[in-house]
Amino acid sequence: MTPMSKPVVTRFAPSPTGFLHIGGARTALFNWLYARGRGGKFLLRIEDTDRERSTPEATAAILQGMEWLGLDHDGDVISQFDGAARHAEVANQLLAEGKAYKCFATQEEIAEFREQAKADGKSTLYRSPWRDVDSADHPDAPYVVRIKAPQSGITTIKDQVQGDVTIRNDQLDDMILLRSDGTPVYMLAVVVDDHDMGVTHVIRGDDHLNNAARQMTIYEAMGWDVPVWAHIPLIHGPNGKKLSKRHGALGAQEYQSMGYPAAGMRNYLARLGWSHGDDEFFTDAQALDWFDFDGIGKSPARFDTKKLENLSGQHIAVSEDAALQHEIQAYLASAGQPALNDVQSANLEKAMYCLKERAKKFPDLLEKAEFALASRPIQPDQKAAKALSSVFIRILSELTPQLQNVSWTRDDLERLLNSLAEAHDTKFGKLAGPLRAALAGRAVTPSVFDMMLILGREETMARLADTAG
């Protein structure tokens, strides 16, 4: 790429037949990173030419997933189906120029041929007998339009990830451009749309690698510039198999419902199949700056929840409190849980500093935030109740009046608790459990001093009094 080359335009082109799964999300992310990192455009096109399987619900789910991940696109969402007339126009132009032809073979004939070829152990590549038939000899019957693919020579896909991939042209079939009902097929539509949209770099799953060779015949027939190809390896499930719904592939949004922050998800997804030296944890700005084709690996990667959690926790720790608040509310909504009310939000905000560094996901954070979210009287859960034996309750009730006059600082509170422990010939560590239980009703919380500081003198004393009965 020279500085003079035209601006980068990438696109993400999912078909709306289901949710945005993790592999698609990563493809979208790579396209987004490549374009945005270079001041280019990132477009979104919905490949809805298959009317049978495309649904508006799926489109909505994809859009929502993109939004959650923060992958904003330029311009309107483009519907591939809307361009059907233009696609047909191109096919007809090719037909007029003799670069495509009408094929009258029926689907039954072709199916029969394939079955036979398979039985004979021969290539199932279909060669239409109509390729060179004069139009005067055409029957009055339904037909499909096929492109005249080259039958000799080679086609080389100069791929930025896979390197040069060469395919013998005699392996290429005369693919269908227009169905017998006149509607365009995907293979034609992608090429026309990518050209018309000015897409300069096609970054997509390597399941399209072979298709690229076939699509190149259309580019050549039309005399169009071929885009830069980058076919990235697919993501596999934990079992090493292709990601599928059956193998637990989840929609991007389910990760939101599980409480992962979008920034952590982006970091993890970017790191899956792409690397920049030994960098593991990075910001969007860094990813944007670093992302390039030479860092993309050639082999498929497996999804690893543990690593996602680790990265997720690191991102939560460095996030701004206000941003975390917003994301947590969105998480609750996506998980179908009640939103935090104003009081809870305010308390959460006060407690955020000591919560965000010890949570991997939002549910962990909220669990530890329970002391700030709950209101009196605190109901201890089973584990907390166990810590509240009568002997400790007695010590706590002894503590309560002493809290009245102590200065409400961490140092003084620590001093007070330590001397109280000493007076009972024990260590502060022994007191922490019951105190925690009384203040939070939970066994897992931030430091008891942080809780006391956040709760304040009055509330702390009230909760201890409640516990002492």
Partner RNA sequence: GGCCCGUUCGUCUAUCGGUUAGGACGCCAGGUUUUCAACCUGGAAAGACGAGUUCGAUUCUCGUACGGGCUGCCA
Are 12 and 59 in contact, with CB atoms under 8 Å apart?
no
Q: Give the integer Cα–Cα distance in Å for 23 and 248.
A: 13
Shortest reach from residue 469's CB to RNA, in Å: 23
Helix orientation angle between 448-468 and 342-355, rounded to the nearest 10 degrees: 130
Cβ 312 to RNA shortest distance, Å: 10
Scanning 70-103, the segments in alpha helix (DSSP H) are 84-96
- Whichever of 197 and 234 has its CB closer to RNA, that residue is 234
Question: Residue 7 CB, nearest distance to RNA (Å)?
Answer: 26
Closest to RNA by CB, 37 vs 205, is: 205
Q: CB of residue 392 vs RNA: minimum separation in angstroms?
A: 13
CA–CA separation, 42 vs 20, rounded Å?
17
CA distance 418 to 427: 7
Amino acid (one-letter) located at 287: A
Given the complex with RNA, which of 195 and 358 has the nearer CB atom? 358
Strand partners of residue 11: 43
Exposure letters 406-430 (e unless 16+ CB within 10 A, then b): eeeeeeebeebbeebbeeeeeeeee
Catalytic residue chosen out of the listed positions 158, 241, 245, 298 = 245
In this structure, are residues 392 and 431 in contact, taking their beta carbons and an 8 Å threshold?
yes
The encoded tokens of residue 327 equal: 């994301």
φ, ψ of residue 218 in degrees (nearest 5)? -75, -45
In the complex, minimum distance from the CB of residue 351 to RNA, in angstroms, rounded to a whole number: 12
Q: Which is nearer to RNA, 234 or 393 (CB)?
A: 234
354 close to 316: Cβ distance less than 8 angstroms: no
Closest-CA residue to 103 (of 216, 185, 171, 210) = 185
3-state secondary structure of 370: helix
Neighbours of 28 (CB within 10 A): 27
Shortest reach from residue 41's CB to RNA, in Å: 21
Burial grade of 151 (CB within 10 A; 0-12, 13-18, 19 or more): middle
Q: Which two tokens stand for residue 122?
A: 């021969």
173 vs 459 by CB, closer to RNA:
173
Please, are residues 398 and 420 in contact by the beta-carbon 8 Å criterion? yes
Residue with Cβ nearer RNA (78 or 176): 176
- The verdict on whether omega for the bond into residue 233 sits within 30 degrees of 0, i.e. cis, is no
- Find out whether 204 and 27 touch, Cβ atoms under 8 Å: yes
Contact status, residue 300 vs residue 233, Cβ threshold 8 Å: yes
Of 40 and 445, the one with the shorter C-beta distance to RNA is 445
430 is catalytic: no
H/E stretch holding 145: strand 144-147
Q: Minimum distance from CB of 188 to RNA (Å)?
A: 8
Q: Using CA atoms, how far apart are residues 299 and 292, in angstroms rounded to an integer?
A: 16
The answer to whether the beta carbons of residues 434 and 380 sit under 8 Å apart is no
We find the least distance from the C-beta atom of residue 336 to RNA, in angstroms, to be 24
**Cβ-based nearer residue to RNA, 168 or 394:** 168
How far is Cα 277 from Cα 380, in angstroms, rounded to an integer? 48
- Which of 229, 386, 372 has its CA nearest to residue 296? 229
C-beta of 40 vs 316, nearer to RNA: 316
CB of 6 to RNA, least distance (A): 26
Catalytic residues: 245
